[in-house]
Amino acid sequence: MRAAQVGKLDGPSAIEIVDLPEPAVYPGGVLIDVHAAGIAFPDVLMTRGLYQMKPGLPFVVGGEVAGVVREAPEGSALRPGARVAALTMLGNGVAEVAVAPEHAVFELPDNVSLEAGAGILFNDLTVHFCLTTRGRLAEGETVLVHGAAGGIGTSTLRMAKALGAGRVIAVVSTESKAQVAKANGATDVVLAEGWLAAVKELTGGRGVDIVLDPVGGDRFTDSIRSLAGGGRLLVVGFTAGEIPTVKVNRLLLKNVEVIGAAWGEWVMSHPTYLAEQWAEVAPLLASGAIPAPDPVLYPLERTAGAVAALDERTATGKVVVQLR
């Protein structure tokens, strides 16, 4: 089979397309003929050995796939031929054949293509975790998301209203990204330059209830300032590179919270959580309440470019590699 392999920790440019033996099916594993594989920011970090989990070299990049079941464990509800999205966990995703643990394999609704399905699990379930489990989103609240034209950002825009938000404000760096944010369902869009004043004006000085921040960097303090009383700032990641700090007196003055939202760690420590999430998200996808993502597609041969697009912050929406 063909696969995208990292042989040295030199960043996305080190990814090579190689021929490898098909993976062996482990007990409880589901063998999947992969049609498409999602790319996420942890893949960028893993190509440099900077992610908290470090697969041994060489490794196949990518941790989420969509495809068709070839083989499932005896007694499984999954059947050969089923269209599924799956998490392969640590790597092993961008390959023509993959194995995923049965508890991380989910049948896709008929209205979701395999290309879109490859872009659902990592980002959408991260956002679902952020807004519900960690953010405690209440009906009608206002959500602001930084990096709104990226993968996590567009997932937030697609999902927030279906999960109860009354208003969703997108913060983007360029006018072209503003168009992406609007197309994905933003109620309002503001540019990163001067965003705090713009948000204060939009909300009549009140501020927002939730900030979802996958960017970090120098916006962090202003994100706290943007919160209404009782508001929550959800720390999702640091695509800007800089890990910010907080002066806790700011939290005390306005009764606001800064909340870590590490979906992957939560999934590993709560074994039933993935299934619980999918039971909530799948019907919303099937009904159209949450639109399926419209991913940016790359051929397998351009996997290095797909990962680099996240590294360079030029990607808009979810990045997906096509294998079939």
pLDDT tens per residue, range 278-313:
999 999 999 999 999 999 999 999 999 999 999 998
Answer whether 0.75 is exceeded by the pTM.
Answer: yes
Architecture of domain 2-119+293-322: Alpha-Beta Complex (3.90)
What are the distances in angstroms from CA 244 to CA 42, 133, 185, 215, 218?
19, 23, 29, 10, 7
Asked if residues 68 and 82 have their Cβ atoms less than 8 Å apart, the reply is: yes
Task: Print burial letters for 22-53: b (CB count within 10 Å at least 16), e (below 16).
Answer: ebeeeeebbbbbbbbbbbbbbbbbbbeeebee
Per-residue pLDDT of the chain (324 residues; tens, 9 = 90+): 999 999 999 999 999 999 999 999 999 999 999 999 999 988 999 999 998 888 999 999 999 999 999 999 999 999 999 999 999 988 999 999 999 999 999 999 999 999 999 999 999 999 999 999 999 999 999 999 999 999 999 999 999 999 999 999 999 999 999 999 999 999 999 999 999 999 999 999 999 999 999 887 788 899 999 999 999 999 997 765 677 788 887 888 889 999 999 998 999 999 999 999 999 999 999 999 999 999 999 999 999 999 999 999 888 889 999 999
User: Which has the closest alpha carbon to 148: 166, 168, 164?
Assistant: 168
Asked if residues 250 and 272 have their Cβ atoms less than 8 Å apart, the reply is: no
Tokens of 136: 């405690």
Following DSSP, what letter does each residue of 63-88 receive, concatenated?
SEEEEEEEE--TT-S--TT-EEEEE-
123-264 under CATH 2.30.40.10, yes or no: no
For the chain, domain boundaries? 2-119+293-322, 123-264
Q: Say how far apart CA 318 and CA 159 lie, in whole Å.
A: 14
Q: Say how far apart CA 289 and CA 163 lie, in whole Å.
A: 9
Tokens of 162: 């279906």
